[in-house]
Amino acid sequence: RLLDDRPKPLAGRTVIVTSGPTHEPIDPVRYIANRSSGKQGHAIAAALADLGATVRLVSGPVQVADPPGVDVIAVESAREMHDAVHQLLPADAAIFAAAVADYRPASEADEKIKKQAGGIDAIALAENPDILASVGNHATQRPRLVIGFAAETQELAENARAKLARKGADFIIANDVSHDSGIGGAGGVMGGDRNRVTLVSKDDADRWPEMDKAEVAVRIADLVARHLQTLTT
């Protein structure tokens, strides 16, 4: 790193990245979550830092290491992630790689819920804030470049483009998760080291070949560098 004299096209730029799952508390010892590993989001943060960006990584609970040279803000729930991201604005770009829980338990029990004879019926859920949409459609502090992800099992490009419009994103990185095994992510996108994505913009869909998540990250960082350049010169 001391002898690192590669070009730094993102020097002086600030980029917010979200990564990992969120944990939505049921009671002091239980939560609702998903299988996101944080590998893709953390790799993107690392790749952006390699290009000289000041990177703020807002991450849910993950097992992967903090990327070197990145400012990591650890959060648990979607609402904490939302508040942390908004506190970090303004930024030049924002990339939303986190697998945010769409719903949370409507209330968190103060005490551990005891097992009850006859069981319990259901956990009431409330909708979480859409963090990407809140930033992509921000009235005063929208970053110049906003990139989201979309995990889809059907009609990949169409669904991704609908998300792009609804959430005010410039690009959506669409993942086909229809062949994910769902067993600890083994062999699937969630938890695995490989990814196959389609880069969707307003009038384009560019299908990238399957590659390591680290390589996807480098390509996304290059895309960010290219766009922030053309937007200023």
Residue with tokens 């259901």: 122
Q: Which stretch binds Ca ion (CB under 5 A): 53-61, 72-80, 95-103, 188-196?
A: 95-103
| Footprint of ligand CTP (CB under 6 A) | 18, 78, 96, 98, 100, 102, 128, 130-132, 148-151, 163
Given a contact cutoff of 8 angstroms between Cβ atoms, the answer to whether 98 and 18 are in contact is: yes
Which partner from the list ligand CTP, Ca ion, none does 131 bind, CB cut-off 5 to 8 Å by kind?
ligand CTP
Residue type, 63: Q
Q: Is 132 part of any known ligand binding site?
A: yes
Residue with tokens 């005490």: 111
The nearer residue to ligand CTP, 14 or 22, going by C-beta atoms, is: 22
Active site residue 34: yes
Instruction: Report the nearest approach of Ca ion to the CB of residue 193 (Å).
Output: 23
Distances (CA, A) of 44 to 39, 101, 123: 9, 21, 35
Does 127 interact with Ca ion (rule: CB under 5 A)?
A: no
Instruction: Report the nearest approach of ligand CTP to the CB of residue 173 (Å).
Output: 8
d(CA 111, CA 119) in angstroms, rounded, equals: 17
DSSP 8-class letter at 18: E
Does 102 interact with Ca ion (rule: CB under 5 A)?
A: yes
Residue with tokens 């239980």: 30
Question: How many C-beta atoms surround the C-beta of residue 82 within 10 A?
Answer: 22
The nearer residue to ligand CTP, 12 or 158, going by C-beta atoms, is: 158
For residue 39, give every residue at least 6 positions away whose Cβ sits within 8 Å of its Cβ, in sequence order, or none: 64, 191, 192, 193, 213
Instruction: Report the nearest approach of ligand CTP to the CB of residue 135 (Å).
Output: 8
The nearer residue to Ca ion, 44 or 78, going by C-beta atoms, is: 78
Known binding-site residues for CTP equal 102, 112, 129-132, 149, 163, 167
Q: Which residues are catalytic?
A: 34
